[in-house]
Structure 1
Amino acid sequence: MFHSTNPATGERFATHPELTADELEQKLAKAATAFDQWRRTPIAHRVTLLRAVADRYDANRESLARMATDEMGKTLKSALAEVDKCAAAFRHYADHGPAMLEPQRTELTGGGTAEVTWLPQGPVLAIMPWNFPYWQAVRFLAPTILAGNVALLKHASIVQGVAALMEEMALEAGAPEGLFQNLAIKSSAIADLIADDRIVAVTLTGSEGAGVAVAEQAGRNLKKVVLELGGSDPFIVMPSADLDAAVKAAVTGRIQNSGQSCICAKRMIVHADIYDAFLDRYAAAMRAVKAGDPTDPASDMGPLSSFEQRDTVLEQLAEAKRQGATLLFGGEKPDLPGAYLTAGILTDVPLDSPLMAEEIFGPIAMVFRAADIDDAIRIANAIPFGLGSAVWTQDEAEQDRFVRDIAAGMTAINQMLASSPEAPFGGIKRSGHGRELGPFGLHEFMNLKTVFRP
């Protein structure tokens, strides 16, 4: 049995039954049957379904958003924005996806042509986290529908209400039975699921440990896997930067979703010439962040997703101080009933500290002083993660240097890093491999078939 607990109040408000072995088998059988039909469905019909699903998200945006707020604590305004972003993603693949699937022909030097065509492969299993419960899943679902594959979602245990609503939206839009199914199962069932011959590929967004386990199982069964395993993104500020804009983005980047975002700016690396000025402004802005009722528009952030998640962050802060870091302020439990934590700043974190190899999933920033651009890049790369990054400089030569030398899958220049349906999303190193979104995300789980013609 899974439980929905409101982290803003601690109140348990719903329960969701776990699938039995027989029920899971029935869903796998439905997925296989649905794929045999859906793979032959004209692309124009798939596009029609994508638009219909987007319409359902628009029509139900308030109730969808409220479920995310109630289950994992994000502010209602951010939940509404997430639902809208999902609708936009469905429409993006409806509008632009067919062109991404057009065959590509090449003239061969020996005569004739080689044609590359994209074909669906079968049921794809998605293992998704709670922090962006709709968006993380839609990043996989929208291209899966267009590709002609079918989707099986194993969502996080604390957002089973969201998972059920997502399946409901697809069915209401006219999705064939079995095309998209929510699997209310525990993590212990994943290995056997990956081994099932009907599952052709796996995508996971989650922790490094979960990624290692899933990659091992996928490898044993010779199945394609895409992994997005989070990170500890650097946010570099150089002397030529617009300091006010950089500070504002650094605050938003660290507290959005209560700091529970894989591409949150987590490590602020600031050039020595402007370090003091940046830290003064940044500290003042972070002190002013208001944690409160996520349904109140005046709240800058809601609670963390659970009391367990808050305890994890508190343990990381205690360990950071033992390792020699300074907690300037924050990281406290406010006088509120839920899993709240105040925004805070850590300085003097030793570069050889174990904390550097961890991701703080909460509204706590680490601020570092860099002597020059070489030092900034060294600090940025001195961790095992490589998901995103942001750099603030007006110097084009410095911009080019950062793009070339920061070891990450993504770099934002003079803006906060964010995901978009149009652009590929993913990382390198211990942040995983493969890409979501854009044409690359569409093609990840398709068969690139080469056809030779005279």
Structure 2
Amino acid sequence: MQLLTEIATRDSAIAEMESATTVLRGGCEEVRQFSGRPGGRVCTFLPSNNVLYSYVLFGLMPGLWSDEVLIRPSARTRNAVLALHELLEDIPHNPVTMADVSQRQFVALCHEAEMVVFTGRYENLQKIKDSIPSEIPILGFGSGPNPVVAGPSADISQVVRATVASRLFNGGQDCLCPDLLIAHASIYAELRGKLAGAFDAVPRAPREQPGLIVPSMYYTDAFEAAASFIEVHRGKVFAGGAVDRQDCWLEPTIVEFPRLSETHPPELFSPVICLTSYREAAEIRAWLASETEVERGMYVSVYGEPGLREVILGTSINCGPRTSFDIEDGNRPFGGYGRRASARWQGGDVVARPLLLSREAGQTSVASTFPTRAVAR
């Protein structure tokens, strides 16, 4: 806990440990379903957040069906990951070897891999993928805006509770946090006011304090990007907006945009959420089918909107009246159908789909498919 709270809030660290334990408990079942060729090397570019959970998902789990797992830690959390590995390297059957080397050196090690796992910015994936032999599958785990839709019959209090909890999870520093809330015009004003009040009630506190809090941000580059976003859109800030550069802290902030069709927020990775309205479900369908959102479709939460019933909307998985955190399961495929969210790159081709390492290890090419569990609404 002491190690994890150097990066994460206490509540998110507890959630991370629980998720990691749950995934390990499901390991035997995953192995029973494994249909690939056992052995070989897996190379993983570890993400900078959720370091324990990621170590389990991309280190210990593929070790159940491979001979060797090489992990390159992110520069942002290098010291924490090396300390974590020191704690865990002597547990039975740990296949993980830390490759604390340059990106170029690690790419060279990937040439001998059966599979490469890349977690990080899509642009960085594009830079390295052509340096890896094309026959080696690269699994790209990225991010998406994970929008929340609040329809005309939504329970506004439920939407606010869920959105605040998910947007401020680990101070907003998680790829599953929603970057956009889309509210029906009939409830927009009421929801906006209640969301602002709920944000304002969350205390500013150090990461070690239990409960939902707004801590100083750990990732300085994410802080600078979010602070810049607030300044660029200062005229659209409805609530919050304070920036404390000395302590790397951002006040929970709501940024309003007048038209959904023109609202495509970046991954904010901070306690900042964008807000816009709509009148017809068709507007949301068109937005999810737009070129930008098709590329990064991951999850979408839908509350009280009967016009959005499909399991897949655009390239996003419909979570129904639940958050992306509620449906995430480390023993099942992760992500959506946008290539920036989750995709397999191999042989010069790419297919975007939810990814699970053990299943992907049994696929012979990007064209291979497997049934993905539908998310119940």
Class of the TM-score when normalised by the shorter of the 2 chains? 0.7 to 0.9
Query: What is the CA–CA distance in structure 2 between the aligned matches of 1:426 and 1:215, rounded to whole Å?
Result: 20
Query: What is the CA–CA distance in structure 2 between the aligned matches of 1:234 and 1:380, rounded to whole Å?
Result: 10
Helix, strand or coil for the counterpart of 2:181? strand
Q: Name 1:162's counterpart in structure 2.
A: 80
Q: Deviations over 1:165-210 (max 9, x none)?
A: 443344321236xx2111222334343333x3x2222111111211
Q: How many residues align?
A: 351
Query: What is the CA–CA distance in structure 1 between the aligned matches of 2:289 and 2:341, rounded to whole Å?
Result: 13
Q: Retained in 1: the 8 A contact 2:301–2:319?
A: yes
Q: Name 2:224's counterpart in structure 1.
A: 311
Query: What is the CA–CA distance in structure 1 between the aligned matches of 2:124 and 2:84, rounded to whole Å?
Result: 23
TM-score (normalizing by structure 1): 0.71
1:423 offset after TM fit, Å?
A: 2.6
Query: What is the CA–CA distance in structure 2 between the aligned matches of 1:417 and 1:350, rounded to whole Å?
Result: 24
1:302 offset after TM fit, Å?
A: 1.9
Give the alignment partner of residue 309 of structure 2, picking from 384, 396, 400. Answer: 400
Q: Name 1:327's counterpart in structure 2.
A: 237
1:318 offset after TM fit, Å?
A: 2.2
Q: Deviations over 1:2-28 (max 9, x none)?
A: xxxxxxxxxxxxxxxxxxxxxxxxxxx
For residue 414 of structure 1, what is the amino acid of its counterpart?
P
1:416 offset after TM fit, Å?
A: 1.1
1:87 offset after TM fit, Å?
A: 1.7
Q: Name 1:126's counterpart in structure 2.
A: 44
> CA distance change for structure 1 residues 350 and 371 in 2, over 3 Å: closer, same or farther?
closer
> CA distance change for structure 1 residues 358 and 447 in 2, over 3 Å: closer, same or farther?
closer
Q: Name 1:210's counterpart in structure 2.
A: 124
Q: Name 1:144's counterpart in structure 2.
A: 62
Correspondence 1:374 to 2:265: no
Correspondence 1:262 to 2:175: yes
For residue 343 of structure 1, what is the amino acid of its counterpart?
P
Q: Name 1:191's counterpart in structure 2.
A: 107
For residue 38 of structure 2, what is the amino acid of its counterpart?
P
> CA distance change for structure 1 residues 445 and 162 in 2, over 3 Å: closer, same or farther?
farther
Q: Name 1:91's counterpart in structure 2.
A: 25
Correspondence 1:342 to 2:256: no
RMSD across aligned positions (CA): 2.5
Q: Retained in 2: the 8 A contact 1:326–1:349?
A: no
When you count helix as a share of all residues, which structure comes out higher?
Answer: 1
Helix, strand or coil for the counterpart of 1:138? helix
1:320 offset after TM fit, Å?
A: 3.2
Q: Percent of aligned pairs with the same residue?
A: 19
Q: Deviations over 1:116-148 (max 9, x none)?
A: x53225111111221211222322224302223
Correspondence 1:182 to 2:98: yes
Helix, strand or coil for the counterpart of 1:168? helix
Q: Which has the larger radius of gyration?
A: 1
Correspondence 1:442 to 2:358: yes
Q: Deviations over 1:299-335 (max 9, x none)?
A: 61322123332112111222334xxx6011223234x
Query: What is the CA–CA distance in structure 1 between the aligned matches of 2:115 and 2:183, rounded to whole Å?
Result: 41
Q: Deviations over 1:193-230 (max 9, x none)?
A: 33x3x222211111121121233333x44310111111
Correspondence 1:359 to 2:264: no
Correspondence 1:292 to 2:199: no
Helix, strand or coil for the counterpart of 1:231? coil
Query: What is the CA–CA distance in structure 2 between the aligned matches of 1:165 and 1:310, rounded to whole Å?
Result: 25
TM-score (normalizing by structure 2): 0.84
Query: What is the CA–CA distance in structure 2 between the aligned matches of 1:447 and 1:391, rounded to whole Å?
Result: 32
Q: Retained in 2: the 8 A contact 1:211–1:229?
A: no
Q: Retained in 2: the 8 A contact 1:123–1:152?
A: yes
1:414 offset after TM fit, Å?
A: 0.7
For residue 356 of structure 1, what is the amino acid of its counterpart?
H
1:75 offset after TM fit, Å?
A: 0.9
Query: What is the CA–CA distance in structure 2 between the aligned matches of 1:192 and 1:289, rounded to whole Å?
Result: 46
> CA distance change for structure 1 residues 365 and 387 in 2, over 3 Å: closer, same or farther?
same
Query: What is the CA–CA distance in structure 1 between the aligned matches of 2:212 and 2:281, rounded to whole Å?
Result: 37
